[in-house]
Amino acid sequence: MLAAVTSTALAALPIAYLTVRIIESDVADTLAALLRSRTLELALTSLALSVTVALGSLLLGIPTAWALTHIRLPIRGLWPVLAALPLAIPSYVSTFAWIATWPGLNGFWPLAAIMVLACTPYVTLPVAAAFRLADRRPGEVARTLGRGPLAAFRAATLPQIAPAALAGALLAALYSLSDFGSPSLLRVQTLTWAVYAAFEGGINRTLAATTAAVLVALALLLVVVERFVRSRARRGAPPDAALVIAARTSSLPARAVAVVGMSAVAAAALGLPAAALLRRALEGRSTEVDWPRLLESAGTTIGLSLGGALLAVTLGLPIAALAARYRLRMAGALESAAYLGNGVPGIVVGLSLVFFTLNVVPALYQTALALCFVYAVIFLPKAIGSARSAIEQVPPSLEDVSRSLGRSAPATWATVTARLAAPGIAAGGLLVAVTAMKELPATLMLLPTGANTLATELWQHTTMTAYAAATPYAIALVLVASIPAYLLSKAEHDEP
């Protein structure tokens, strides 16, 4: 319990930081920053982007998930991988590729379209899993009552997949709300951009803290709305007992439509960025690649992301074990509090750690440990969720048998629970690592002096419009992130 409370307290540091900063600030300055027309404009733009991306991800993700689970597709193993691989491409890399193809590209709608392509897997993956467990019988009953396919789907199947779809849409909304690189490259000013600009200026930290508080408030608003809608959706869901799973169709028209549709999405999300990067690489052959710097950046990226993943798993395990084994109100509260990191953008977490290290532990400022801790806080929910699910799948009776044989609680945990749950725990760490590789604003704030990651090198070159020099770093980042993303997609979509 003590370990879980400690982990949750560490995860709540960003909220504590914002509270302290606002309390310490002059009330008049805080109100002036909060009530600026510019703040309202940035908030509306950020909220509009989040809602647009969430809706677009639902419109693309649900049909894709349905096709993956209900149609006998040719080259069956290819499509789940193509559906998940956009997770390996940071949104700012995709944006860089689109700008490299159309140099004049900018504005809200191009940004929204690129973000939808990047975030659709957040909906596709959980909804595909929900479709596999959905009961087909309510839909069959609806059809016998004279309802058409779409009406039957809306009445019978949609309530079963709605929780997964809404959870994925929330992730898409939070990702777009906190994204910094793509809006900056496309010249769309959002709250995240404003927080970073205020922090870099260093003149008005009250403005930075107040803007960050508005950003967090929007994130928490999205979380509350998602939970409310999801709770209403669950009321209409059929019982889970005695499910009858839908069979896959071999209809030629359905296969053709699915293949054409998913190919078009894959071409836009993967093909165009890959082609643009390769073309830039070929055009920039005269530009000498600094291989030592590239390899050093790749090594730093891997090291920091793995360090963040290890720390996230370490902090998340006590919370996950408590939530999985004890149905206590305290356990649920600790888990919910730890999920604050999922609703706080990376730039706010980075800002809080800058304040904390400078005022409490100055020696940690701009060290690898501080940056790894930021990664752990931001992506802690991913580690907790995976570990909790894995621990829940370990039968408590096995632990009881181990204890009856005289083994202590720690020995039982190490030899039974942790050993059986290890694959799920490792998958959570892998997910943290692949997302940490792409984190940009927090990395820019806390990266150790003299160090560079693939993401920061790419960002520095693109802001100077040195696209040829940026291309090798973009390709390297995609390749490095593709390995864990591919492994995760295979694990998510493997079927008996």
Q: What is the DSSP string of 275-308?
A: HHHHHHHHHGGGSPP-HHHHHHHHHHHHHHHHHH
Q: Residue 249 forms beta bridges with which residues?
A: 71
Q: What is the Cα–Cα distance from 90 to 176, expressed in whole angstroms?
A: 12
Locate the domains of the chain by residue range: 1-9+279-496, 36-240
pLDDT digits (tens, 9 = 90+) for 244-285: 455 577 778 888 999 999 999 999 999 998 888 888 777 766
User: DSSP secondary structure string, 222-241?
Assistant: HHHHHHHHHHHHHHTPPP-T
Within 8 A by CB and 6+ apart from 441, the residues are: 178, 180, 181, 192, 196, 345, 346, 347, 350
Assess contact for 157 and 202: CB atoms under 8 A: no
Asked if residue 8 has pLDDT above 90, the reply is no
64 confidence band (pLDDT: 50, 70, 90): very high
Show the CA angle centred on residue 76, arms to residues 74 and 78, nearest 5°. Answer: 105
Q: Return the CATH fold of 1-9+279-496.
A: MetI-like fold (1.10.3720)
pLDDT digits (tens, 9 = 90+) for 159-179: 878 877 888 888 889 889 988
Q: What is the Cα–Cα distance from 209 to 20, expressed in whole angstroms?
A: 10
Q: What is the Cα–Cα distance from 272 to 268, expressed in whole angstroms?
A: 5
pLDDT digits (tens, 9 = 90+) for 310-347: 999 999 999 888 888 776 677 767 766 776 666 566 77
C-alpha dihedral over 32, 34, 38, 43, to 10 degrees? 180
The amino acid at residue 8 is: T
pLDDT digits (tens, 9 = 90+) for 453-467: 998 998 888 766 676
Neighbours of 411 (CB within 10 A): 13
59 confidence band (pLDDT: 50, 70, 90): very high
Q: What's the token pair of residue 401?
A: 């048998």
3-state secondary structure 396-454: HHHHHHHHHCCCCHHHHHHHHHHHHHHHHHHHHHHHHHHHHCCCCHHHHHHCCCCCCCH
C-alpha dihedral over 36, 40, 42, 47, to 10 degrees? 160
| Secondary structure letter of residue 85 according to DSSP | G
How much of the chain is helix, strand and coil, in % rounded to 5? 80, 0, 20
Q: What is the Cα–Cα distance from 265 to 402, expressed in whole angstroms?
A: 50
CA 390 to chain centre: 20
Q: What is the Cα–Cα distance from 338 to 353, expressed in whole angstroms?
A: 16
Q: What is the Cα–Cα distance from 28 to 308, expressed in whole angstroms?
A: 39
Assess contact for 356 and 21: CB atoms under 8 A: no
Asked if residue 83 has pLDDT above 60, the reply is yes
Nearest by Cα to 302 from 40, 477, 123:
477
242 confidence band (pLDDT: 50, 70, 90): very low
Buried b (16+ CB within 10 A) or exposed e, 197-232: ebbeeeeebbbbbbbbbbbbebbeebbeebeeebee
494 confidence band (pLDDT: 50, 70, 90): low
Q: What is the pLDDT of residue 495?
A: 46
Within 8 A by CB and 6+ apart from 140, the residues are: none
Q: What's the token pair of residue 153?
A: 């789907």
Q: What is the pLDDT of residue 101?
A: 86
Q: What is the pLDDT of residue 52?
A: 97
492 confidence band (pLDDT: 50, 70, 90): low
Q: What is the pLDDT of residue 6?
A: 85
- The sign of the dihedral angle between the CA atoms of 310, 128, 438, 443 is negative
Asked if residue 1 has pLDDT above 80, the reply is no
Top-ranked range on mean pLDDT: pick from 46-55, 154-163, 372-381: 46-55
Answer whether 0.75 is exceeded by the pTM: yes
* Cα within 13 Å of Cα(468), Cβ side: 8
Buried b (16+ CB within 10 A) or exposed e, 355-377: bbbeeeeeebbbbbebbbbbbbb
Per CATH, 1-9+279-496 and 36-240 having the same topology is answered: yes
What is the CATH number that goes with domain 36-240?
1.10.3720.10
Average pLDDT over all residues of the chain:
82
Q: Give how far Cα 255 sits from Cα of 102, 134, 247, 357, 493, Å.
A: 33, 21, 14, 56, 19
Q: What is the Cα–Cα distance from 255 to 249, expressed in whole angstroms?
A: 8
Q: What's the token pair of residue 299?
A: 């090594």
